[in-house]
Amino acid sequence: MKIFKFGGASCNSVERIKKLPSIINKFSHEQIVMIISAMGKTTNALEQVVSYYYKENIEEALKHFNFIKQQHNETTKSLLIKNFDKCNTKLTEYFKTIEQFIDTKPTREFDYYYDQIVSIGELLSTCIISFYLNEVAIENKLLDVRNILKTDNNFRDANINWDKTKNNISSVQLHPSLTITQGFIGSTNYNESTTLGREGSDYTAAIFANLLNAESLTIWKDVDGVMNADPKLFSDAQLINELSFNEVIEMSYYGAQVIHPKTIKPLQNKSIPLIVKSFLDINLQGTIISAKPVNNLPPIIVIKENQALIQLHTKDFSFVGEEAVAALYKIFSELKIKPNLIQTGAISIQICLDYWEDKIHQLTELSANLFNVKIATGLQLLTIRHYTDEIKNKLLQGKNVILTQQTKETIQALYLI
């Protein structure tokens, strides 16, 4: 069995959805479980709906929601004839669920409503695609993943209940050739919808691969595979044919947006290879990620924009001791802050992190009784894995570098832009 994951970009237009049959037909002799995200930018649009709803700006919430409805209705009209009515009835049910929420005053926390409303994006896309494939004679079975993937009620970043999910998967009857279900969403024991964090469909696909002991997971994308740098920033970015799980974990740690960081562990635990492949040209090989160590990698470049540097100095020039460091890490954990770089000196600690205004403000306040705090903003953080002197000098030439950190494998440099 193979698991396929199709992201928002693979179904963001009628034209792209129409590419799916030729891909699936290539694998007609295999059993496929297909995990699909919401179409295009639907999740962002639904996020807007929730924000307006929670601010009790019903008019704007409905305006944004109607736009989403219209987009999905148009897609359905362009794709379906025979199955149009059936699909339309189902979509209308989903729309109604949202409208009923919008009709009632919010009484619970924001994250709860976020999940109830945002989760519909995946339900809409899978419904349309399942009916469409059926219409072009690709038999398939659509499952509501919320009956399978069980989570706690940590809305917006729900944790998987592995035991329950495993039980559910083993009792579900999969289609002999194609089963379709939603990425990114799940549900609590009370059947309230939950989401797994933005871009979480990759993770869903990895969970299915793990629990079904799949032979591989293929993530179909609109790029040729994993590149050594962002091709939008580096015109000479190159495709990497093969990577190890460990390398991908390192790359995501430093901020490379290859795949959702939680995706690797379920695959690594069962040595299930991950293939990142283009749906635009399926003859390209893509990138294969597996447990096998890979040597001689090209320099891998990650740039994180919009960084802040917090400089903490001990108040009385005393050494930075374990207590101060422990207190600081406790603050990170309370504020759910993940620093991108930390450097500890004799009487100071420097922390580079994404510029999130309110978190930085809270961090400043909470550490002010231990340290004098200085903040610099408008910075960029460059990370190069497998660096050479040549690439390091080239990328840092003329940069106003204020902090660097270097190991044998990795160099990081923070500079003003």
Q: Which residues bind ligand ASP (CB under 6 A)?
A: 7-8, 37-38, 43, 121, 183-184, 198-201
Rounded Cα distance between 407 and 387, Å, is: 10
Cβ closer to Mg ion: 38 or 209? 38
Rounded Cα distance between 128 and 148, Å, is: 20
Which entry of Mg ion, ligand ASP, none binds 125, CB below 5 to 8 A by partner kind? none
Cβ closer to ligand ASP: 43 or 287? 43
Cβ closer to Mg ion: 42 or 187? 42
Q: Which stretch binds Mg ion (CB under 5 A): 7-15, 146-154, 336-344, 392-400?
A: 7-15
Task: Provide, rounded to whole angstroms, the least separation between the CB of residue 87 and Mg ion.
Answer: 22
HSE at residue 327, side-chain half, CA atoms within 13 A, is 14
Amino acid at 357: E
Which entry of Mg ion, ligand ASP, none binds 43, CB below 5 to 8 A by partner kind? ligand ASP
Q: Which residue of the chain is nearest ligand ASP when measured via CB?
A: 201
Q: Which of 141, 152, 221 is nearest to 179 (CA)?
A: 141
Cβ closer to ligand ASP: 44 or 238? 44
Contacts for 221 with CB less than 8 Å, ≥ 6 apart:
7, 9, 10, 276, 277, 278, 279
Cβ closer to ligand ASP: 38 or 360? 38
Token output for 27: 């694998």
Rounded Cα distance between 63 and 68, Å, is: 9
Task: Provide, rounded to whole angstroms, the least separation between the CB of residue 342 and Mg ion.
Answer: 30
CA distances to 65, 120, 155, 157, 238 from 108, rounded to whole Å, are 21, 19, 12, 17, 48
Task: Provide, rounded to whole angstroms, the least separation between the CB of residue 199 and ligand ASP.
Answer: 4
Is residue 195 involved in binding Mg ion (CB under 5 A)? no
Applying CB under 5 A, which of residues 4, 5, 6, 7 lies at the interface with Mg ion? 7
Q: Cβ distance 185 to 196 under 8 Å? A: yes
Rounded Cα distance between 40 and 74, Å, is: 14
Is residue 37 involved in binding Mg ion (CB under 5 A)? yes
Q: Which stretch binds Mg ion (CB under 5 A): 18-26, 31-39, 301-309, 313-321?
A: 31-39
Rounded Cα distance between 178 and 175, Å, is: 5
Which entry of Mg ion, ligand ASP, none binds 38, CB below 5 to 8 A by partner kind? ligand ASP
Contacts for 280 with CB less than 8 Å, ≥ 6 apart:
19, 222
Cβ closer to ligand ASP: 8 or 261? 8
The number of residues making up the chain comes to 417
Provide the binding-site residues for Mg ion, judged by CB under 5 A.
7-8, 37
